[in-house]
Amino acid sequence: MRCTERHYHCRSCGHRFTLPGADLSFAYGTFLGVSATPQAAVLHCFDPTYTEIEALVDDHRRSAHLPPVDAGPLVRSVIGRVFDPDPTGSAFDFTGTHPCPRCASVHVNSRETALPWPHTARPATHHRWDRLTAPAKAATVRSAVNTLLR
């Protein structure tokens, strides 16, 4: 998938940064993940592994009370932690929220541009996940949910 540049401006510290972006309004169930390096990966919710992780998150006692509007981002946050990272080892964030890389503030403005991102977004992969046993998968998701819902 080809991406465009998305320009960000932190309202807290004034830092300006650029990340890959894509208009996915036409692609139901498709999410763009961005790593800290920044590289991009495409996640499809129709991947059976997405469904497997979603079920493990739904079974977690701490996520049982979440409304669907919060459950989806939680699942995508967990997926970012358990799917394969980019080639530099940086995890992908599939939630669409990008804090400032300088001060970590979430108070950022962004705007889409027509400028092409110089790299193609690769499909999100889960080779590490596939090698785990069922108990290890459940433990990995439990740990990720516990960390994310602190």
- Residue 4 clears pLDDT 90, i.e. is over it: yes
pLDDT at 19: 96
- Residue 27 clears pLDDT 90, i.e. is over it: no
Q: Summarize pLDDT for 63-101 with one digit per residue, the tens.
A: 878 888 889 999 999 999 999 999 999 999 999 989 999
pLDDT at 54: 95
33 or 63, higher pLDDT? 33
Q: Find the mean pLDDT for residues 14-20.
A: 96
pLDDT at 24: 84
Q: Find the mean pLDDT for residues 110-131.
A: 95
Is residue 104 exposed (0-12), middle (13-18) or buried (19+ Cβ within 10 Å)? exposed
Cα–Cα distance for residue pair 25/131, rounded to 1 Å: 33
- Residue 23 clears pLDDT 90, i.e. is over it: no
pLDDT at 25: 73
Q: Which of 23, 141, 18, 122 has its CA nearest to residue 77?
A: 141
Cα–Cα distance for residue pair 42/69, rounded to 1 Å: 21
- Residue 62 clears pLDDT 90, i.e. is over it: no
Domain residue ranges in the chain: 2-148
Cα–Cα distance for residue pair 54/71, rounded to 1 Å: 9
pTM of the prediction?
Answer: 0.89
Confidence at 45, pLDDT banded by 50, 70, 90: very high
Mean pLDDT for all residues in the chain: 94
Q: SS3 helix, strand, coil % of the chain, rounded to 5?
A: 30, 25, 40
